[in-house]
Chains A and B, each alone.
Chain A
C-alpha cells in the first residue's frame, strides 16, 4: 500500500457555502489532520474544479481525494480519477439542504462528515479484483423442454458453447405432446402448428451444442466460471467444466391430485386431464375409436387452485375448445370457468372460440357423475345446471414447478436452505465476547470438536428441514456448504426479485427459466429462456474480469478473510445469502469469489471482525464512528449514529434533502452496502464512544422482501434482537438502539422517523459514557 496522501476538497456550490462556515471547516480540517492539501472551490464538479483535484493527483500531492460536496449518488463519474481513491463526504443533500444555515450545529455536522470522509479514505484502497477463476466459458443447460432447447439455441447463436442435459431419452419435454399451439403473432387467432420438432432439429444441427439425453446432473462443484459438473449420462459419469448454468427443469403434474377428484378425475370414466386430452386432440378428437363430440372443459375455481395453477390453464382450455371445433364444427364444447383469464392477446383467441360456438359458462362444478355428467352452479343464471350426455370431461390441472427433482431422494443435508426464512438463528456476540448466554462458547467448542450442527445448523421456525415444502432431491446437487438446493420462494417457485430482476436466483451464475420460474406457455417459456441464456453469458463475461454480477455488477472488491484470528465459528458460511462461502477441511471459511455478490453480510456476521473489503471494512467503519466529535456533556448535544442501507434508505435521505426537509441536527450517517454487513460491534463501538443512540435503516424483510441481497435486512433484525444484552451489560436503555424498515419512497417518512428518534433520545438523556 502506498502512503496515504489525502487531499481534501471542499465544494462551496449549490448552497453549501451559504449554509456552512467554510473558513471554520477548512481550519478544523487542517488543524486536526495531517492532510497533504485542503482546497476550496466554488463548484468542484465544473471543469475547473475537477482540474484542481486532477492536478494534485498528477503532481503526486494526493493519492486519495476526499470530495466534500454532494451525495455520492450524483456526479459519480465526474469524480473518478485514474490511480486515486475517491471518497465523498456529503455536505449538500445531507447538510446544506436540511440544516439551519450558518448555525453552530450545522458547522459541527459538516466537520463530522469531512472527518468521517477522511477516516474512510485512510482505510480505503481501490479494489483490483480477485484472481481469474474462469476455466470454462461453456454454458450448461439443464432440461430439454422448450425452455432448455431455446436457451441452448439462443446462447449458441451468440457464439457460446453449450451442453444440454435432458433426463429422458428425448428432447422436447411436455411441448412434444401438444398438437397445436396458441398463436403469438397477429392476428392472434387461428391455432398454429407445433414447431417443437423444428427447434429440436435446430438444436441438433447446431455445432456449438452437445446434447446428452438420459442424463442428469449428479453433482455441481465450484463457482461461476469454474463449475465442475458431474453428469450421470445413462449410468456413466461425464465430467466437464462450465462457466454458468441455466436451469430449465419445467413443471410436473401436481403431486396431490385429490383436489380434482370432485370433478371425477380418477373416479368417473371419461374424465381426463388436459394433458391427456392433448393426445385425444392429436388423434382427431377420437378416443378408443369413438369420436368425442360433446365435451366439458373445467377450469377449476380459484380457491381450489394451488398457487402454481393460475394463468396458463384458462388459455389452454380455450385453445383445446377451438381445436375441437376446428375438427368438428358441429361439436358441443362447454368451458366452465369462474374468472376467465384470457389475458393479453389471448382475448382474441377467446373471441375466436366464441365465434366458433364454444359455450363459456361462469359456473362452479359441484359434482361429477357417471356418464360422464356434471352438476354445476351456474353463477349467471343463479341456478343449478346439469350437463349430461357428455363424451368427455377435461380438467385443467395445475403446473407444479420442478424446483426439486421428484425422481431423486431427498437430500441428506441442507434442506433448511431450500426454504429458509432467516438464517441462521445462531447466537450473536459483541466484541467477540460471549454475550452472556454461553452460546458463543458453545459454538467455539462445537467448532473445535468438529460438530457441525451444534453451531450453525439451526433451522428457522417455519421450515422443517426434514419436510421441505417440495419433495425430491436437488436439481443440480450443488456441493455448497449451504446444501444442494437452489432456494425457493414461499410459493414453491425458485426465489428471485421476480418483478425487477426475474433471473437473479440466490445461486450466482445459475439462472432459471420456464415453468420452474412461474407458470407459462410454451411460447412464453421460449422467450424466458432467451433472457436466461443472456444472463449466463453475461455472468461468464463479468467473472472473466473478476467483477461482481448483479446487483453490484462490475464491482471489483471482494471479501478478504484473515484466517489467523478466525475462530471457525462458521457464521459467515451460514449467513451468506448466496452460499458463496464453503468450509475447508480444517473448518476455515473458503470463499468462492465468483459466487460472491459483495453485500458484506459475511463481514457483518464475523464476531472477530476479520473479514474485510479493500474499500469497506470493520476498521474503516469503526474509525468513521470514532472520527465523529462527541461534544462535551455540558454542551448537551446528543449524537445519533444512523447506518443507512445505500440502496433504499440512503437514496430516501438524499431525496429528503432534495425536498429541503429539515432533518434532526444530531444525526450522523454512514451508508452501508446492505444492513446485513452491519456488525453489532459497530453498535457497541458507537455507544462506548459516546453516541447517544444508534439507528439501523434497511429494507423490508419477509415473504415480500425488498432487500437487494435477499437476506441482509432479515439477518440484521436477527442480530439487533441480541443487542439488548449488550445494552444491559453497558447499563444503557434499550431504546437507544432501533432498527427501521425503510423504503426508497420514504423520503418524507424517513424524516419523521429520524426526528422522532431524535426526540426519544433527547428524552432518555445523554449517554453516560459521553466524555469518558
Chain B
C-alpha cells in the first residue's frame, strides 16, 4: 500500500558522490522533493578525492562546485550527512530507510570559523587522504567541503581537548552530547548511489601492500598528486619524501580475477595513464612502467591513450606481475614474466602503484525486496523494472564518471515514474 502524503512522493538518494548528487539534483530541478543521504561529513564521495579526471585533466571539484551551487539554490534537496544507511524495506510508494546517524559533535550553528581546530591537539589519520597523513581531530573535512561545516572525531571525547574545544566555539556549535542513533526515513522511491571502495590490496597476498609505504594503491596516488593532499601535490615516496621518478603502475590489482573481482573495473587503465601523466609532468627524468594485460581505453578514450603513449619515458609491459615485495634495500621490487618475450624480470622502483579495482559499497547494506544484488554486490533493479528502487553509478556496475553522471540522470526519471509523475 502506498502511503498518502508527501513522503510517498519523496525520492531518497542513498550516497552523495557524483552519481547521487547528480540524481538528486536532476530530480529536484524537475520539481520533486529529494533527500540526499551521505555517510561522510561532506558530499562528493570518491571523486572529491581525485586530483583530475581523464581524459580532460580537469578537476572534479569544478563540476562539484556547480552541483553544490545548484543544491544551495534548490530548496527541494535536503542533504543529510553522516547518515549511514543500513537497511531499506518496503515497497514502491512506501519505503522505510534505516540509518545510523553518526555523531558529528558539531551542529548547524557552525560557521566554519576554525577555532575548534585551532585549539585541538588530538590528531587522527586523515580520512580524506586515506590515512596518508595526520590531521586535527576537529577539522573541516577538506577545503572544498560541502556542507562547509567542521567535524570532530570521537577520539576527542574524554580527552583534555573536549573542554577546550567546547569552550573555543563562540557559536554554540559544538555538542559533545551527540550520540550515534538510529533514525528512520520514509520515501516513495529509492536511488542507490552508494558507489565503491578500492579493493583491499592486502588481499592480494603476493603484492605485499602492507610491507612498504612505497607500495600504494591508485586512490592514494590521487591524493599524492593533489594540491590539497598530504604532499601538496608532489609525487614522492611516502617512505622518505624523496621524488618518485621511477614508478611502476600495476594494472588489474584485483580486477579480472575470479579469486578477487571477476569483472574489469573499467576505470583503472585510464586512471593509471593519468597517473603516468602526473609523474611525467613533474619529473623530466621520469621513468614509468605500466604492467598490463590489456589497455582498455573504452569509448572515446583511445585518443587519450595515444596522447600518453607517445612519451618515450613511459614503457608498457604486457605482464601480470607474479610478486611485488620490499627488497633488502627497502625499495619495492616487481617480479614476473613478460608475456610477449617470455623474459623474466625483477626491477626496483621508487613507487609502485597498484591499480586496485572498484568494489561496490552496497555489498554490506540490506536492500529491500524489489531490488536485487548480484554476487559482487552491485545493485540492480528487478527484471520487470516496475519497482521503486533504482541504482546508478558504481552502485550499479563498474562505471567511470561520465557513465555515473549519465546513469544518475536516467535514475532520476525512473524515480519520478515510481513516485507517480505529476
Binding site for B on A (CB under 8 A): 13-15, 42-43, 45-46, 70, 73-74, 76-77, 154-155, 157-160, 185-186, 188, 302-303, 305, 307-312, 339-348, 351, 379-380, 382, 491, 493, 497-503, 518-520, 527-528, 530-531, 533-535, 537-538, 541-542, 550-551, 553-555, 647-648, 651, 655, 658-659, 699-700, 704, 706, 708, 743-749
Is there an interface contact between A339 and B295, defined as CB atoms closer than 8 Å? yes
Chain A residues, Cβ within 8 Å of B263: 188, 344-345, 347-348
Q: Which of B98-106, B119-127, B348-356, B408-416 contacts A (4 or more CB under 8 A)?
A: B408-416
Say yes or no: A519 contacts B300, CB within 8 Å: yes
Who on chain B is nearest to A70 by CB? B111
Given contacts A341-B297, A500-B401, A744-B59, contact A43 B170 (CB under 8 A): yes
The CA of A518 and the CA of B305, in the complex, are separated in Å by 17
- A133 CA to B263 CA, complexed, in Å: 49
Q: Given A157, A342, A499, A537, which contacts B63 in the complex, CB threshold below 8 Å? A: A499
**Hey, which chain A residues are within 8 Å of B406, CB to CB?**
502-503, 527-528, 531
> How far apart are B147's CB and chain A's nearest CB, in angstroms?
9
Smallest CB-CB A-B distances: 10 pairs: A500-B63, A531-B409, A530-B410, A534-B413, A14-B113, A531-B410, A311-B299, A745-B59, A158-B421, A186-B374
Chain A residues whose C-beta falls within 8 Å of the C-beta of B340 in the assembled complex: 379-380, 382
B339 within 8 A of A: yes
What residues on A are CB-neighbors of B53 within 8 Å? 499
17 examples of A-B residue contacts, CB within 8 angstroms: A154-B414, A154-B417, A159-B421, A186-B374, A308-B300, A311-B302, A341-B297, A345-B397, A348-B262, A348-B263, A493-B300, A531-B26, A553-B74, A647-B65, A704-B58, A745-B226, A746-B227
A708 to nearest B CB, angstroms?
6
- In the complex, what residues of A have CB within 8 A of residue B405's CB? 499-502
Pairwise interchain contact B298-A310, C-beta atoms closer than 8 A: yes
Shortest distance between the CB of B226 and any CB in chain A (Å): 8
B266 at the interface (CB under 8 A from A): yes
Chain B's closest residue to A547 (CB) is: B29
| A159 in complex: contacting residue of B66, B112, B306, B422, CB < 8 Å | B422
Residues of A within 8 A of B416 (CB): 158, 534, 537
B53-87: which have CB < 8 Å to A?
A: 53, 55-59, 61-63, 65-67, 69-70, 72-75
Q: Which of B55, B266, B408 meets A344, CB within 8 Å?
A: B266
Judged by a CB distance under 8 angstroms, whether B4 is at the interface is no
Q: Could you tell me the distance between the alpha carbons of A554 and B30 in the complex, rounded to whole angstroms?
A: 10
- B31 adjacent to chain A (CB < 8 Å): yes
Q: Give Cα A655 to B30, complex, Å.
A: 31
Q: Mark B306-342, 1 if CB is under 8 A from A, else 0.
A: 1000000000000000000000000000000001110
Min CB gap B52→A, angstroms = 8
With an 8 A cutoff between CB atoms, is B303 at the interface? yes
Write the nearest CB–CB distance from A373 to chain B, whole angstroms. 25
With A and B bound together, what is the CA distance between A6 and B266 in angstroms? 56
Which residues from chain B contact A520 at a C-beta distance below 8 Å?
299
Return chain B residues, CB-CB under 8 Å to A342: 264, 294, 296
B58 close to A499 (CB less than 8 A): yes
* Interface pair B407/A500, CB less than 8 Å apart: no
Cα A491 to Cα B341 with chains together (Å) = 36
B144 interface neighbour in A46, A341, A651, Cβ under 8 Å: A651
Tell me whether B65 and A185 are in contact (CB under 8 A): no
Residues of chain B within 8 A of A700, CB atoms compared: 58
Q: Is the CB of B113 within 8 A of A706?
A: no
Contact present for A541 and B30 (CB under 8 Å): yes
Q: A743 CA to B407 CA in the complex, in Å?
A: 26
Chain A residues with Cβ below 8 Å from B18 are 500
Most buried by A among B262, B300, B339: B300
Bound Cα distance A509, B216 (Å) = 45
Q: How far is the CA of A225 from the CA of B220 in the complex (A)?
A: 47
Name the contact of A551 in the complex, choosing from B56, B70, B114 (C-beta under 8 A): B70
Q: Does B210 contact A (CB under 8 A)?
A: no
Closest A residue to B316 by beta carbon equals A339
Asked whether B296 lies within 8 Å of A158 as measured between CB atoms, the reply is no
Give which listed residue, A382, A500, A538, contacts B341 with CB less than 8 A: A382
For the complex, give the distance between the alpha carbons of A360 and B57 in Å: 34
In the complex, chain B residues whose CB is within 8 Å of the CB of A76:
72-73
B379 to chain A minimum Cβ distance, whole angstroms, is 11
CB of B183 within 8 Å of the partner chain: no
Inter-subunit contact B300/A343 (CB<8 Å): no
Q: A500-B66, A531-B406, A658-B140 are in contact. Are A747 and B227 (CB under 8 A)?
A: yes
* Contact residue among B29, B306, B413, B422 (Cβ-Cβ distance under 8 Å from A530): B413
- When distances are taken between beta carbons in the complex, the residues of chain A under 8 Å from B339 are 380
- Are B264 and A519 in contact, CB atoms less than 8 angstroms apart? no
Q: How far is the CB of B319 from chain A (nearest CB, A)?
A: 12
CA distance A339 to B318 in the complex (A): 10
Give CA–CA (A528, B399) in the complex, Å. Answer: 13
The answer on a CB contact under 8 Å between A45 and B111 is yes
CA separation between A307 and B414, bound complex, in Å?
A: 32
By beta carbon, the residue of chain A nearest B267 is A343
**A696 to chain B: closest CB distance in Å?**
18
Whether A537 lies near B413 (C-beta < 8 A) is: yes
B388 within 8 A of A: no
Say yes or no: A708 contacts B294, CB within 8 Å: no
Bound complex: CA A46 to CA B170 (Å) = 11
Question: Contact at A743–B298, with CB atoms within 8 Å?
Answer: no
Q: Is B232 an interface residue (CB 8 A)?
A: yes
Q: Are B228 and A648 touching (Cβ within 8 A)?
A: no
Q: Which residue of B lies closest to A96 (CB)?
A: B113
- Please determine whether A13 and B170 come into contact, CB atoms closer than 8 angstroms: yes
Whole-angstrom CA separation of A74 from B68 in the bound complex: 10
Q: Are B300 and A747 in contact (CB under 8 A)?
A: no
- Which of the residues A309, A340, A503, A651 comes within 8 Å of B302, measured between beta carbons? A309
Determine if A74 and B63 form an interchain contact, defined as CB atoms under 8 angstroms apart. Answer: no
What 19 new A-B contacts, CB under 8 Å, besides A309-B302, A502-B402, A534-B416? A13-B113, A13-B171, A74-B148, A158-B416, A185-B380, A340-B294, A348-B262, A499-B402, A500-B62, A501-B405, A530-B409, A531-B406, A531-B412, A534-B410, A541-B30, A550-B29, A553-B73, A648-B65, A658-B143
Q: Which residue of A lies closest to B113 (CB)?
A: A14
A70 vs B407: C-alpha distance in the bound complex, in angstroms? 36
- Would A708 and B29 count as touching, CB distance under 8 A? no
Question: Residues of A contacting B294 with CB < 8 Å?
Answer: 339-342
**Is residue B134 contacting chain A, with contact meaning CB distance below 8 A?**
no
Bitwise, B346-374 to A at CB < 8 A (1) or not (0) is 00000000000000000000000000001
Is B59's CB under 8 angstroms from A302's CB?
no
* Beta-carbon contact of A538 and B302 below 8 Å: no
Q: Is the CB of B409 within 8 A of A743?
A: no
B50 to chain A, nearest CB (A): 10
**B260 proximal to A (CB < 8 A):** no
Instruction: Tell me, in angstroms, the Cα distance from A345 to B262 when the chains sit together.
Output: 8
Check if B409 sits within 8 Å of A503, measured CB to CB: yes
Q: Which residues of A contact B298 (CB under 8 A)?
A: 310-311, 341, 343
Question: A residues within 8 A CB of B114?
Answer: 14
Q: Which of B56, B380, B397, B412: most chain A Cβ within 10 A?
A: B56
* Bound-complex Cα distance A553 to B72 (A): 11
Residues of B within 8 A of A533 (CB): 413
Q: Can you list, as one digit per residue, whether each of B1-41 has a CB less than 8 Å from chain A (1) or not (0)?
A: 00000000000000000100000011001110000000000
Interface residues of B in 242-260 (CB under 8 A from A): 255-256
**With A302-B306, A379-B340, A500-B405 as given contacts, are A343 and B58 in contact (CB-CB < 8 Å)?**
no
Do A307 and B264 have beta carbons less than 8 Å apart?
no
Cβ–Cβ < 8 Å partners of A527 in chain B: 406-407, 410
Check B302–A310 contact: CB distance below 8 A: yes
In chain A, what residue has the closest Cβ to B380? A185
> Distance (Å) between the CB of A15 and the closest chain B CB?
6
Do residues B29 and A186 form an inter-chain contact, with CB atoms below 8 A? no
Contacts of A699 in B (CB 8 A): 62
